[in-house]
Structure 1
Amino acid sequence: MPIATDLIGLPAQVRPPAFALRDVDPARLPAGSLVALPVLSGEDTAEGPVLGPGAEALAALLDLDLLEVLEQHRATGAVGEVITQVLPGAGLAAVLLVGLGAARPQDFRDAGAALARATKDRASVVTTISAIADDPALRAFVEGVVLGSFEFHWRSAGAKSQPLGELVLDGPVDRQPQVDRALAIAVASWRARALATTPSNLKNPAWLCEQAAVWAAESGLGLEILDEEQLEAGGFGGLLAVGRASATPPRLIRLDYAPGKSRKLPHLVLVGKGITFDSGGLSIKPGDAMSTMKRDMTGAAVVMSTMAALAAVGCPIRVTGVIASAENAVSGASYRPGDVITHFGGRTTEVTNTDAEGRLVLADALQYAVDKLRPDVIVDVATLTGAAKVALGLGTAAIFATDDVLAERLSAAGDAAGERYWRLPLADVYEEMLTSKVADADNAAGGPGAITAALFLQHFTGGIPWAHLDVAPVGDTLADRGVWTAGPSGFGARTLLQWLEQDAPLEGIS
């Protein structure tokens, strides 16, 4: 069944490869086939690279020394290496020798992405890489193939290239559930990337609502949307202040998932920052800093994509997604430094920097979750602070948490998914920096900025176990690398789904 990757208002997008499982005999493949064979780095041996299943039979059939081919290319079997040996007149079209390094799950994921990039515009490839993969490695490999195939376009002539049409995996059909689960998780990450990459002349809060409605109907989710009049009546002062300068008013999106009819199941709320473009407001950003701000709704993209995949991964608990969406624009209606806003629930904030808008909309959404939904656990996802980039660089996201078990679960899920986190402290020694002379808090308390932003948000969590994922350091990828494609990353969806597919994801969190 084709995977839906199109978005409202855009040309037809490319689709991820299809996958099929069957017993593969490389010596008995149809003419013109492309065969991908695994190559391990052989780091623990003196022999160098080690060829995997199917290589011996294929070498005998073709009268071709594949180790010599590797030597000619000075290949080592390192992850990401793909050597293509064309076979004119041999029946098969080519053999692809794919480096797996030490064959860890992460290596399979990156090897899958490398294979995907090497086989674009091909109809089909057969591989024996899956024959040496246990279940975690197989899932990682499938994820890598999907994510390495990602492309977003808005071209009149269509996409520059098409992903591989089908990858035939060597293995029994009883491994299909693992393939399907991996595909659901990878497509969620794909969708989060696509949402974050969509230009802001199309993507605004109303458009985000339309896309949420499509995925809700497709996935059987409950949907509720609060427009600007309902936000005004409800007292969502943060959302309204940030969004009021834009021609497209703010929205609050609520998505509900339940695996059954029982309301006694544990309940998680995911909150996403949905700033569809961030100019910085009157505290305007420099031009270079503004160029990537279409992706300032990555948190919303991650929550929406995760919610749409919960049924596919068999999530056993109730989950509600709450997305606070606005455009931080500039006009005569802009909110100003010095303004005091009243959030949902009554807490007040003095605005000293209109470019610290994410915490203002998240505050409303978090308090709404506490007061209206009364969950057992809350997790928010946001490209929140440049300070997190300073602290952690561009390869690791920050995690803050009020509960050690919750922090450990999310970090472990991130490790398994190939998304890395580092826990930073909710250090109350900096709490006094939030002090305002006229309101309950200042929205721009200063450095250490990632910590003071998290402390600001903590006041809206009602003592409920809570984690804050600041994905600003990994919101963009500068170049194609492993499973990452240059551009907005959609970082976080795989982490959440890796966690929420577990039998009891909230057990022990208090």
Structure 2
Amino acid sequence: MEFSIKSGHPEKQRTACVVVGVYEPRRLSDVAQKIDEISQGHLSFILRRGDLEGKIGQTLLLHNVPGTLADRVLLVGCGRERELGETQYRKVIATAIRTLHETGSMEAVCYLTELNVRSRDTTWRIRQAVETAHASLYEFNELKSKNTKEDMRRPLRKIVFSVASRRELSLAESACREAEKIAEGVKLAKDLGNLPSNICTPAYLVQQAQKLCENHENKLSCQVLEQADMENEGMNALLAVAKGSEQPPHLIILEYNKEGKKNEAPFVLVGKGVTFDSGGISIKPSKDMDQMKFDMCGAASVLGTLLAVVELELPLYVVGIIPTVENLPSGNATKPGDIVTSLSGQTIEILNTDAEGRLILCDALTYAENEYKPEVMIDIATLTGACVVALGKHAHGLMSNHHPLTNDLLNASKFSGDRAWELPLWDDYQEQLDTHFADVANIGGREGSAITAACFLSRFIKKCHWAHLDIAGTAWLTAKKEKGATGRPVPLLTQYLIDRSKMSSNNVATEAPVVSEEE
């Protein structure tokens, strides 16, 4: 898909289709009014007939509109003008892109990016339009014997997004570039998440990390700790999870821009990479167990974010760490009640082998802090069903030991549309992890279990600023039309790092603006 930016009159566009908005009830947007004037009321006449009300999700494709050079004009419902917020805008863009794709328009000039969205400027509208377009057209057909793309005679190949003034072209083009790189990272995360676990094994994740480095030589480096290396390190919590599987565990370490920023503390991203989670001896119910291939989406988001960061050439030192294992039952598997000594020296009573993500993460976090002394460390994990119950599929659960870091992540989440919600990380919850037989238990009971999971991880953080993103509800969707990995939180993490790079360049004014949560 090719994207570009331009400024120009809609009636003068020689293209397969011009896309404009219609507000509810039957009210033309500013650009649509220009076409209406040049066509001597053609659009107004059609709306008066009642062919389009203007509700979100509605479209009307017109051919040979008088006075225009485009083959077609697509009218897209935008809802009520005063209610056009961020979520509605993305729905409008998605509707337009899908309609263009399904109706045979190989190219289009889209004027929806000139709509007035509450509290948002042109840069944001372009960013969201490009990212939404990529998301709307995403398909995962790699494992189908017949590729559906071959059946489509005229797929959408080029979209031009319009800005109202030529003065906005430079900023809009920059926003388009950022969006395309973020979308590349999201696609990588989606593709990895959607693969079945017989293909996407821990070894496969290693191969993908190495391939990423090969494609970006001299910018990204990769190191892999094998099982023997981790045994020598003392990563017994991580190794305990892998004992039931024939697939050996790995710890993948990726470094970006190390030489360019060798004297600076890095930003470290740690992603949970359980390529299949049966629950181990504490085995899960069979219903929906197929979805446990998505338990490596934290790892996928780290790879996707690093791809975006490398492509954007951000002036930061970023480290990605991925502990990757399979969690299966066998005669060698860890049993409920077993006690292991973690890399930190703390002993852990494993009361439930299905609370495995925190076990691989705690050793990875200890390793990261010991080796890199990071400025900031963020872990990303499909960690708890409790977070799904609390926040559903819309927001990541965010917990942190540092309020400014929390605010920075929430700010990035609002700007990117990849939203997170802060949950408390109070000491009151820590006592739920107490046990008679070890330093800490790996579960703390049903009450507040998304929080106690984060409390468990917090015990393995010494001094660094740390945040935990629980993406159990947001990493994949289960609806028939949308089933599959979402690629989140690649947009949030990339935006956070973009903001940090602008701060490091003493350009605070360009950081994503703080806005209130949409009502």
Give the TM-score normalised by structure 2: 0.86
Tell me the amino acid that sits aligned with residue 466 of structure 1.
W
Contact 1:188 1:305 in 2 (8 A): yes
Mapped pair 1:109 → 2:90:
yes
- The aligned counterpart of 2:124 is 136
Tell me which moved more, 55-64 or 246-255. Answer: 55-64
- The aligned counterpart of 1:497 is 494
Tell me the amino acid that sits aligned with residue 97 of structure 2.
A
- The aligned counterpart of 1:56 is 34
- The aligned counterpart of 1:278 is 277
**Offset, 1:195:** 1.4
Contact 1:316 1:504 in 2 (8 A): no
- Superposed CA deviations along residues 338-391 of structure 1, whole A, max 9, x for unmatched, are 211222232221111111000000011100011111111111110100011222
Cα pair distance change 1:141/1:347, threshold 3 Å = same
Tell me which moved more, 218-227 or 317-326. Answer: 218-227
Contact 1:111 1:144 in 2 (8 A): no
Q: How does 1:18-417 map to 2 (within 5 A)?
A: 18-30=2-14, 33-41=16-24, 48-53=26-31, 55-57=33-35, 60-61=38-39, 64-66=42-44, 68-69=46-47, 72-78=50-56, 80-87=57-64, 92-101=70-79, 102=81, 103-120=84-101, 122=104, 123-132=106-115, 134-153=122-141, 154-159=143-148, 164-171=156-163, 174=170, 175-219=172-216, 220-258=219-257, 261-417=260-416
Contact 1:370 1:461 in 2 (8 A): yes
Cα pair distance change 1:259/1:177, threshold 3 Å = farther
Contact 1:50 1:77 in 2 (8 A): no
Contact 2:65 2:73 in 1 (8 A): no
Cα pair distance change 1:66/1:294, threshold 3 Å = farther
Tell me which moved more, 130-139 or 316-325. Answer: 130-139
Q: Residues of 1 paired with 2:173 and 2:205: CA distance?
A: 33
Tell me which moved more, 383-392 or 168-177. Answer: 168-177
- The aligned counterpart of 2:512 is none
Tell me the amino acid that sits aligned with residue 10 of structure 2.
P
Q: Residues of 1 paired with 2:77 and 2:313: CA distance?
A: 33
Contact 1:24 1:128 in 2 (8 A): no
**Offset, 1:113:** 2.0
- The aligned counterpart of 1:9 is none
Mapped pair 1:462 → 2:451:
no
- Superposed CA deviations along residues 265-293 of structure 1, whole A, max 9, x for unmatched, are 34211110001111111111111241211
Q: Residues of 2 paired with 1:113 and 1:190: CA distance?
A: 17
Cα pair distance change 1:341/1:62, threshold 3 Å = farther
Tell me the amino acid that sits aligned with residue 126 of structure 1.
V
**Offset, 1:473:** 1.8
Tell me which moved more, 84-93 or 272-281. Answer: 84-93
Contact 2:134 2:183 in 1 (8 A): yes
Q: Residues of 1 paired with 2:113 and 2:65: CA distance?
A: 26
Q: Residues of 1 paired with 2:192 and 2:239: CA distance?
A: 23
User: How many residues matched?
Assistant: 482
Identity in percent: 33
Contact 1:419 1:494 in 2 (8 A): yes
**Offset, 1:70:** 7.7
Contact 2:22 2:32 in 1 (8 A): no
**Offset, 1:421:** 1.6
Tell me the amino acid that sits aligned with residue 123 of structure 2.
D
**Offset, 1:149:** 1.1
Q: Residues of 1 paired with 2:347 and 2:242: CA distance?
A: 17
Q: Residues of 2 paired with 1:203 and 1:413: CA distance?
A: 30
Q: Residues of 2 paired with 1:329 and 1:274: CA distance?
A: 14
Q: Residues of 1 paired with 2:45 and 2:227: CA distance?
A: 66
Q: Residues of 1 paired with 2:136 and 2:183: CA distance?
A: 10
Tell me the amino acid that sits aligned with residue 466 of structure 2.
W
Tell me the amino acid that sits aligned with residue 53 of structure 1.
V
**Offset, 1:139:** 1.0
Contact 2:39 2:65 in 1 (8 A): no
Contact 2:340 2:349 in 1 (8 A): yes
- Superposed CA deviations along residues 408-460 of structure 1, whole A, max 9, x for unmatched, are 11111111111222211112122122122222111122122111111110011
Contact 1:313 1:497 in 2 (8 A): no
Gaps of 5+ in 1: 1-16, 42-46
**Offset, 1:217:** 2.6
Cα pair distance change 1:310/1:267, threshold 3 Å = same
Tell me the amino acid that sits aligned with residue 500 of structure 1.
L
Q: Residues of 2 paired with 1:323 and 1:465: CA distance?
A: 19
- Superposed CA deviations along residues 174-229 of structure 1, whole A, max 9, x for unmatched, are 33222111111122222212211111110011101111112223232111111112
Contact 1:380 1:469 in 2 (8 A): yes
Tell me which moved more, 120-129 or 384-393. Answer: 120-129
Q: Residues of 1 paired with 2:227 and 2:58: CA distance?
A: 52
- Superposed CA deviations along residues 240-272 of structure 1, whole A, max 9, x for unmatched, are 111122222111111111286232334211110
**Offset, 1:92:** 4.4
Q: How does 1:420-435 map to 2 (within 5 A)?
A: 420-435=419-434
RMSD of aligned residue pairs (Cα, Å): 2.7
Q: Residues of 1 paired with 2:416 and 2:470: CA distance?
A: 17
Cα pair distance change 1:497/1:180, threshold 3 Å = same
**Offset, 1:82:** 3.0
Q: Residues of 2 paired with 1:105 and 1:183: CA distance?
A: 19
Q: Residues of 1 paired with 2:161 and 2:132: CA distance?
A: 14
Tell me which moved more, 416-425 or 94-103. Answer: 94-103
- Superposed CA deviations along residues 5-52 of structure 1, whole A, max 9, x for unmatched, are xxxxxxxxxxxx21123344433444x7122112344xxxxx753323
Cα pair distance change 1:291/1:70, threshold 3 Å = farther
The secondary structure found in structure 1 opposite 2:425 is coil
- Superposed CA deviations along residues 449-507 of structure 1, whole A, max 9, x for unmatched, are 111111110011113111101111222224489xxx43222221100111110112799
Tell me which moved more, 128-137 or 182-191. Answer: 128-137
Q: Residues of 2 paired with 1:406 and 1:314: CA distance?
A: 23
Cα pair distance change 1:35/1:254, threshold 3 Å = same
The secondary structure found in structure 1 opposite 2:252 is strand
Q: Residues of 2 paired with 1:167 and 1:474: CA distance?
A: 28
- Superposed CA deviations along residues 274-319 of structure 1, whole A, max 9, x for unmatched, are 0111111111111124121111111111111101111333433211
**Offset, 1:86:** 4.3
Give the TM-score normalised by structure 1: 0.87
The secondary structure found in structure 1 opposite 2:31 is coil
